[in-house]
Amino acid sequence: MTELSRRTALRGAAGASFALAALPLLGAGTASAAPAGFPEYRFLRTAFDKSKLQYPPARREVIFPCIRGVYDKLANPLGRYYLYYAPHDAPGGICLSYADSLEGPFIEYPHNPIVKNVWKPHYDVSHVSSPHVLWHEQSRELWLYFHGENTTTRLARSKDGIHFTYDKTVLSTSMLPKGTTETSYAKVFEHDLPSRGAKYVMVFMINTTANHRGIGWGWSADGRNWTFSQTPLIRPEDVGASNIAAPTVVRRNNSTYVVYHENIEAGGNMLITEVGNDFSKRKHLGVFHAPLKGAPDNGRCAAASFGTMNGKEYMFYEAGERLKGAIAIARAV
Contact predicate 232/213, CB 8 Å: no
Q: What pLDDT, on a 0 to 100 scale, did the predictor assign at position 23?
A: 29
Contact predicate 134/223, CB 8 Å: yes
Distance in angstroms (rounded) separating the CA atoms of residues 263 and 244? 6
Task: For the chain, 333 residues long, give each residue's pLDDT as a single digit of tens.
Answer: 333 333 322 222 222 322 222 322 233 233 345 788 999 999 999 999 999 999 999 999 999 999 999 999 999 999 999 999 999 899 999 999 999 999 999 999 999 999 999 999 999 999 999 999 999 999 999 999 999 999 999 999 999 999 999 999 999 999 999 999 999 999 999 999 999 999 999 999 999 999 999 999 999 999 999 999 999 999 999 999 999 999 999 999 999 999 999 999 999 999 999 999 999 999 999 999 999 999 999 999 999 999 999 999 999 999 998 888 999 999 999
Q: What pLDDT, on a 0 to 100 scale, did the predictor assign at position 194?
A: 97
Contact predicate 101/308, CB 8 Å: no
Q: What pLDDT, on a 0 to 100 scale, did the predictor assign at position 90?
A: 95
Distance in angstroms (rounded) separating the CA atoms of residues 113 and 279? 35
Using alpha carbons only, how large is the chain's radius of gyration in Å?
18
Distance in angstroms (rounded) separating the CA atoms of residues 247 and 189? 12
pTM here is 0.90
Q: What pLDDT, on a 0 to 100 scale, did the predictor assign at position 252?
A: 95
Amino acid occupying residue 252: R
Distance in angstroms (rounded) separating the CA atoms of residues 161 and 249? 22
Q: What pLDDT, on a 0 to 100 scale, did the predictor assign at position 273?
A: 98
Distance in angstroms (rounded) separating the CA atoms of residues 115 and 48? 20
CA angle in degrees (0–180, nearest 5) for 243-93-45: 70
Q: What is the CA 69 to chain-centroid distance, rounded?
A: 15
Q: What pLDDT, on a 0 to 100 scale, did the predictor assign at position 34?
A: 79
Q: What pLDDT, on a 0 to 100 scale, did the predictor assign at position 18?
A: 27
Contact predicate 182/215, CB 8 Å: no
Q: What is the DSSP letter of 56?
A: H
Distance in angstroms (rounded) separating the CA atoms of residues 3 and 124? 43
The helix/strand/coil state of 57 is: helix
Distance in angstroms (rounded) separating the CA atoms of residues 266 and 178? 28
